Structure 1
Amino acid sequence: MEIDKLLLDASLARLHHLAPSQVELAKLVSEVVRAVTEIFDLAGAGVLLADADRALRSIAAADSSGALLERVQEECGEGPCVESFITDEIVVSEDLAAETRWPRVVPALLDGGIHAVLGIPVRLGGGPIGTLNVAADSPRVWTDSERDAMVHFGAVLENLLLAGLIADRNDKLARQLQYALEYRVPIERAVGYLMATRKTDSVSAFEILRRTARNERRRVSELAEAILARRRVL
């Protein structure tokens, strides 16, 4: 898709000037998601944030497609956006119908009219705390200019979240953001431990951690800390 550079620059400039000290942080995140959807003519977009209970939790979605994209990945613990968070890299799918990487989420996304997805890591405090996720309603070749622009929107999101923390907000999203920073490290370390002991990749290790916590009705962060303290062997 050809990007309207003037519209893109104007949108980024407007978002850069949003102030978490004056507006609810969740509304600012939703503004970024809405802008991304409009600029790129997307079926949906949203943001996933690291969470102590479920590993990842949806905090914003532009519409029903964005909500579906996030809900399915949150429930299944796999998908392009989950993988983007785990690997701290951009993850792309240009045609979900041809995908073999995420067998549990792809059928639901296709049934919901989502055919292409892009996951962008959102970083804070030296590492990923979540992802900016976008969806198209038909197969789509994500161009280099689109990817670069999405990274810029991800940077805007990072700046807003950081400013929200500095502003010492006590609203729900600010508290969840603090949780994300606190629990990201033990979850990452537990994933690394499982990779070494299970001889598996990071995505599979993350799923082992998430699935075990869910089966035992424990918080992912609690299980991660038990694994690191060698009080739990998976």
Structure 2
Amino acid sequence: MDARNFDETSLDDALAALIERGRQTIGAADEISVTLLRGNYAHTPVVTSNFALLLDEWQYEQGQGPCLDAAACAATVTAADLTTESRWPRWTRRAVEAGAASCASVGLRLPDGIPGSLNLYARRPAAFDTDAMSLAQGFAGSAAVLLAPAVGDDPHMALSQHRHTTMQHRAVIERAKNIVMSRTQCSPDDAFALLAQQAQATGRATYEVATTLIHDAHPEQ
């Protein structure tokens, strides 16, 4: 596949379209994200859902996880069953509690050796077979082509529109988590897991479930 086939007017739109197309094409992938590293700084410039964003950010917080390993080594890293995975114990515990069962990250080859990865997450174990990984490699190559000019100019590239939307979604989900915690006296991780489970059961995004919960709790807003 050729990243130049995308005719969106901005890098934000092109990357968002690419990974959404990847999610639809790689049927095993429930969600997809992209990780970029620069020194001790890691961020997710584009993601298909807040579920994937949290899985990424937990890795950044703890300094361990498949996307960091794949980015650092420009290699492919897979985990077929996160319940038995031992390479990243702190991250896998939280990932499993949130509903992730398997994952795969493909290292991106970017200018000046800037580390990056394309990350695939699934809610069932052993989701990524040879065919799925072949498709993932192709989408990773397309992502690298799109990212190359931007990271060459600015390694911390903004991708501002998409990231702004992502931050808005995070704020909504945090509000919903607080409602769940106040009702059930559970932990923040458990609250997110409950939202994610409801999203999976109803076929909606976690953000949509969170929005509905907030509206039901505060209909006047």
Same fold, TM exceeding 0.5? yes
- Does 2:4 align with 1:16? yes
Q: RMSD between aligned alpha carbons?
A: 2.5
Tell me whether 1:45 sits opposite 2:32 in the alignment: yes
* Residue 57 (structure 2) pairs with residue 71 (structure 1): yes
Question: Could you tell me which residue of structure 2 aligns to residue 137 of structure 1?
Answer: 123
| One-letter amino acid matched to 2:121 | A
TM-score when normalising by structure 2 = 0.64
Q: Cα–Cα, structure 1 residues 166 and 124, in superposed 2: closer, same or farther, change >3 Å?
A: closer
| Cα distance in 1 between the residues matched to 2:112 and 2:157 | 23
Q: Distance in 2 between matches of 1:100 and 1:134?
A: 19
* Deviation, structure 1 residue 112: 1.1
- Pick closer, same or farther for the CA change 1:163–1:35 going to 2, 3 Å: same
Counterpart among 84, 102, 106 of residue 120 in structure 1: 106
Q: Which runs of 5+ in 1 are unaligned?
A: 1-11, 175-234
TM-score by length of 1: 0.61
Q: Distance in 2 between matches of 1:128 and 1:61?
A: 19
- For the Cα contact (< 8 Å) 1:49–1:129, is it kept in 2? yes
What fraction of aligned residue pairs are identical, expressed as a percent? 21
Alpha carbons of 1:165 and 1:104: their partners in 2 closer, same or farther (altered >3 Å)? closer
The one-letter amino acid paired with 2:107 is: P
User: Would you say the 8 A contact 1:43–1:65 is kept in 2?
Assistant: no
- Quick one: distance in 1 between partners of 2:152 and 2:127? 38
Structure 1 distance, partners of 2:72, 2:96, is 23
Q: Do residues 153 (structure 1) and 121 (structure 2) align?
A: no
1:99 maps to 85
1:122 Cα deviation from its structure 2 partner: 0.9
Matched residue, 1:109: 95
* Corresponding residue of 2:48: 62
Determine which of 1, 8, 11 is the counterpart of 1:25: 11
Deviations along 1:49-94, one digit per CA (max 9) or x if unpaired, are 1135x43111111013211221111211111111111222100000
SS at match of 1:50: strand
1:34 is matched with which residue: 20, 28, 34? 20
Give me the whole-angstrom Cα distance separating, in 2, the residues matched to 1:163 and 1:87: 21
